Amino acid sequence: MTTNLAAPQVIGIDLGGTAIKLGRFDQAGQCLQSLTVPTPQPPQPAVVLDAIVAAIAQLDPQNQCSAIGLGTPGPADAAGRVARVAINLGWKDVPLADWLEAKTGKPTVLANDANCAGLGEAWLGAGRQFQDLILLTLGTGVGGAVVMNGKLFVGRHGTAGELGLITLDLQGNPCNSGNRGSLEQHVSVQAIRRRTGLEPEQLGQLAAAGNEEAIAFWHTYGCELAAGLASLIYMLTPAAVIIGGGISASFEWFYPSLLAELEIRVLASSREGLQILPAELGNQAGMVGAAKLAWELVDGLTLDVSAAGEVQGLGADDLTGLAMSSPTPESLAEFLAAELQRVRLAYRMATEMAQYKAGFLARASHEVRSPLNGVIGLQQLILSDLCDSPEEEREFVKQSNQSALKMLALLDEVIAISKAEHGTSKLEIQPLQLLEVLEVVQQMTQMPAQNRNLRLQIDRPDPSIYVLADPRCLKQLLVSLVGTAIAQMDDGSIHLSTHLDLATKQVHLWLEDTRPIEAWQEPVHLLSQPDQTLSFTTSLVSNAAAKRYQAADRLSPGLSLLASQALLDLMGGQLKLLAVAANPVSAAPVAVGAYPEPAKLSRLQCSLPLAQDD
C-alpha cells in the first residue's frame, strides 16, 4: 500500500483484556496499517502503558500521527482523561490519557470501548447514514452507545450509555453492577448459556438446520430484547438501532420477533422511520471509533486555536496544518503558549465588550421608559375621551408621536451597540478614515456621558486622515477607553483629540480628562508588567486592587488598558500615559462652546500608523 506521508493521520486503539488492537487512520477513515499485540498479564497499568507506547512506535515509526483515541474496557471520565473502572483489567481511576501524552507527545482522548464501537458504526459502519442512533453490543455482557446529532453522548460524568444495565425484571438475576434483572441478564452470552447450556453460535447453527427448539429460543430472545429496546426508543427516539457483538451473527433468527414485538410495545409516533440493523464493522468497530475520537480531538484543538490565531492574523488553514504536522513537544509548547496569550486577549476583549453592552442597554432601557410612559399616558387620555377639543386631541397625538420618535432614536443606539462585533475574527489591517471611526465612538459614548453629567467632546479630524488598523478592534478599544473614563468619573470633562505627526508617520489620539494622574497609577503598574497577565495565576492585580474593583460594574481601568495596549501592539500602534503639567491661567478669552483647558489633566495617547504620507 502506498501512503502519503504528508497526509494527516491519527491512531485508534481498542484496549481489551487479552489483546490490544491499534490502527493508523487517515481523515476518511481508511485504516492504513493495523497491529494487534497481547495485553500484558497481569495487566498492571504501567506495564500496559509501556506495551501501548511500544506498539505505537512500531505502528507510526515516522511520528506522523497527530492524536490518539483509545477505547477502554469500562467507563472513562467525561473529559476523556481517566479510565475510571476497567473490571477485566483490575483498574480504577487510571489517568491513561495523561500518561500516554507524556510518553508520546500526542494529544490523547479516552472513551468506553462500547462507546467507541458505537461511534465507529456511526462513522463508517451500519449507522453512517444516521445522526441519531443506538448501538447494542451483545456479547459476554451487553454494552451500548448513544450517538446524538452525530456526536457520542457520554453524560455529565462520562458514564452514560450503559444500555445493558436497564432493568427488565425487578426480581431477576443479579449482575455485577449491583442491579437485578437487567437487560444483560436476559440477552447476553452468559444468559444464553445459563438458560440453554449452549453457545449462541451453536443455537444459530441449530436454527439454520431447522431445529424447532432453537428457532423457538431465538423467537423468545427477540421478544425480550425488544422489551429492553422499547424503553430506550421511547427515551431517545433514534433513527436506527445497530445490533453488534458476537450474538449479532444470529441476527436473522431473532430479528423477526424483535421487530414484531417493537411494533406492539412502541407507539408508531416514536418508531416512525426506525431501522433495526446488524453492525458491519465486527471486532474492528472499537478501533475505528477510537480513531474517530482522535479526529474529533484534532478538530477541537484546531477550532480552539483558530479563534485566537485569527485575532493575530493566522487563518484556520494555517492552524490546521500546524495541528497536523506532529510538532515536537518543545515547538508545541511554544505554539500553545502563544495561543494562550491570544486566547486570553480575546477573552478580555469579549468580556469587556459584553459588560459595556450590558451597562449601555441598562441605561438605554431606563431612558426608553420615559417616552414609553408618555405614549401610554397620552393614548389613555385619548381613549378615555378626556380631550376638551379635537385640537387638544391632535396635540396629544403629536406629543405621542414625538415620544415614539425619541424611543426609536434610543433603540437605534441600542441596535448600534448590538452590532459591535468583537474579538472573534482575524485582524484585517486596512486604511480607515479616522473621522468615520470617531463618529462611531461619539455615538456609542455620548449617552453614557450625558447620564453621568459629564462633558464629552470628540474633535472631528480632517477627513483626509487615514490610519492603518482593524476597524472593529480600533472602534472597540476607543469605546473601551472612553467608557472606562466615563465610568470612573463623577464630574468633569473628557476630550478626545487628533494630532498628526508627519515625522514619525503616526497619528496620536489624545484622551484627556480632568482627573489627576494618580487615577491611572494602578493601570500604569500593570502596563509596565504585561508578562504577569500571561502567567498561570488566578490574580491579575494585587489583593487591595481586587477589593477596590470587586463591586465595580465593569472591568478595572488596568485590565481595560491591558486589552487596549495589546490590540494596539497587534495593529502596529502604541498606548502611553503622558503626564501633563498644570497650565497657567490664560488671559485669553475662551469661546462659547470651546473646550476649556483644565488645571490638571490625565492624558492617554493612542498612536496609530498613517495610511498615507500627506
Please state at what angle helix 285-312 crosses helix 316-324, rounded to 10 degrees: 130
Give the integer Cα–Cα distance in Å for 539 and 546: 8
pLDDT band at 569 (very low <50, low <70, confident <90, very high): confident
pLDDT for position 205: 96
Give the integer Cα–Cα distance in Å for 283 and 286: 7
**CB of 33 within 8 A of CB of 73?**
no
- What count of other Cβ atoms lies within 10 Å of the Cβ of residue 157? 11
pLDDT for position 414: 55
**CB of 612 within 8 A of CB of 431?**
yes
CA atoms within 13 A on the CB side of 156: 0
Distances (CA, A) of 245 to 48, 57, 138, 370, 381: 25, 30, 5, 69, 77
Bigger pLDDT: 296 or 549?
A: 296
Kindly provide the b/e burial profile for residues 520-533, where b requires at least 16 CB atoms within 10 angstroms of the residue's own CB.
Answer: bebbeebbeeeeeb
Q: Kindly provide the residue ranges of all beta strands, DSSP E only, lying in 462-547, ordered along the sequence.
A: 466-469, 493-501, 506-513
CA atoms within 13 A on the CB side of 269: 0
CA dihedral 519, 522, 525, 530 (to 10 degrees): -120
CATH architecture of 130-280: 2-Layer Sandwich (3.30)
Please state, rounded to an integer, the average pLDDT across all residues of the chain: 78
Please state at what angle helix 557-570 crosses helix 329-383, rounded to 10 degrees: 120
pLDDT for position 330: 59
Question: What is the secondary structure of 174-193 as a DSSP string?
Answer: B-TTS-BSBTHHHHSHHHHH
Phi first, then psi: give them for residue 504, nearest 5 degrees: -100, 0
Give the integer Cα–Cα distance in Å for 138 and 191: 11
Give the integer Cα–Cα distance in Å for 184 and 71: 21
Give the integer Cα–Cα distance in Å for 225 and 188: 10
Bigger pLDDT: 53 or 556?
A: 53
Query: Picking from 241-245, 443-447, 587-591, which range would have the lowest pLDDT averaged per residue?
Result: 587-591
Q: Which residues contact 431 (CB under 8 A, 6 or more apart)?
A: 466, 467, 468, 611, 612
**CB of 570 within 8 A of CB of 311?**
yes
Query: In 60-95, where does DSSP find H-type helix?
Result: none
Q: How many residues does the chain have?
A: 614
pLDDT band at 321 (very low <50, low <70, confident <90, very high): very low
Kindly state the average pLDDT of the residues 10-39: 93
pLDDT for position 495: 92
Distances (CA, A) of 60 to 25, 54, 285: 11, 10, 21
Query: Picking from 325-329, 340-344, 493-497, which range would have the lowest pLDDT averaged per residue?
Result: 325-329
Q: Which residues contact 452 (CB under 8 A, 6 or more apart)?
A: 486, 489, 490
Closest to 188 measured CA to CA, from 214, 325, 196: 196
Q: For residue 249, with 0-12 CB atoms within 10 Å meaning exposed, 13-18 middle and 19 or more buried, which class applies?
A: middle
Grid cell listed for 182: 437487567
Kindly provide the b/e burial profile for residues 82-120, where b requires at least 16 CB atoms within 10 angstroms of the residue's own CB.
Answer: bbbbbeebebeebebbebbbebbebbbbbbbbbbbbbbb
Residue spans of the domains in the chain: they are 1-125+283-326, 130-280, 329-424, 430-584+596-609
187 pLDDT higher than 80: yes
90 pLDDT higher than 50: yes
Grid cell listed for 322: 500546524
Q: Could you read off the pLDDT of 476-527 as tens digits, one per residue?
A: 889 888 988 888 888 888 999 999 988 888 999 999 887 776 665 443 333 3
Give the integer Cα–Cα distance in Å for 455 and 449: 7
Kindly provide the b/e burial profile for residues 165-193, where b requires at least 16 CB atoms within 10 angstroms of the residue's own CB.
Answer: bbebeeebeebeeebebbbbbbbbbbbbe
Closest to 182 measured CA to CA, from 194, 164, 195, 162: 164
Q: Which CATH class is domain 430-584+596-609?
A: alpha beta
Kindly state the average pLDDT of the residues 199-228: 96
Query: Picking from 211-225, 301-315, 327-341, 388-402, which range would have the lowest pLDDT averaged per residue?
Result: 301-315
Q: Could you read off the pLDDT of 530-557 as tens digits, one per residue?
A: 333 333 332 333 333 333 333 333 445 5
Bigger pLDDT: 400 or 326?
A: 400
Kindly state the average pLDDT of the residues 320-340: 57
Q: Could you read off the pLDDT of 440-461 as tens digits, one per residue?
A: 999 888 888 888 889 999 999 9
AA identity, residue 153: F
pLDDT for position 278: 95
CATH architecture of 329-424: Orthogonal Bundle (1.10)
- Predicted structure pTM score: 0.51
Query: In 313-328, where does DSSP find H-type helix?
Result: 316-324
Closest to 145 measured CA to CA, from 168, 170, 163, 125: 163
Pairing, β 65-72 against β 108-112: parallel
Q: What percent of the chain has pLDDT over 90?
A: 42
The 3-state DSSP class for residue 135 equals strand
Q: Which residues contact 286 (CB under 8 A, 6 or more apart)?
A: 14, 21, 71, 113, 114, 116, 117, 120
Closest to 245 measured CA to CA, from 177, 159, 183: 183
pLDDT band at 18 (very low <50, low <70, confident <90, very high): confident
| Domains 329-424 and 430-584+596-609 alike in fold | no
148 pLDDT higher than 50: yes
Whether the ω angle into residue 238 lies within 30 degrees of 0, i.e. cis, is no
Q: Could you read off the pLDDT of 91-106 as tens digits, one per residue?
A: 999 999 999 999 998 9
CATH architecture of 1-125+283-326: 2-Layer Sandwich (3.30)
425 pLDDT higher than 50: no
pLDDT for position 557: 58
Kindly state the average pLDDT of the residues 5-23: 87
Query: Picking from 38-42, 239-243, 341-345, which range would have the lowest pLDDT averaged per residue?
Result: 341-345
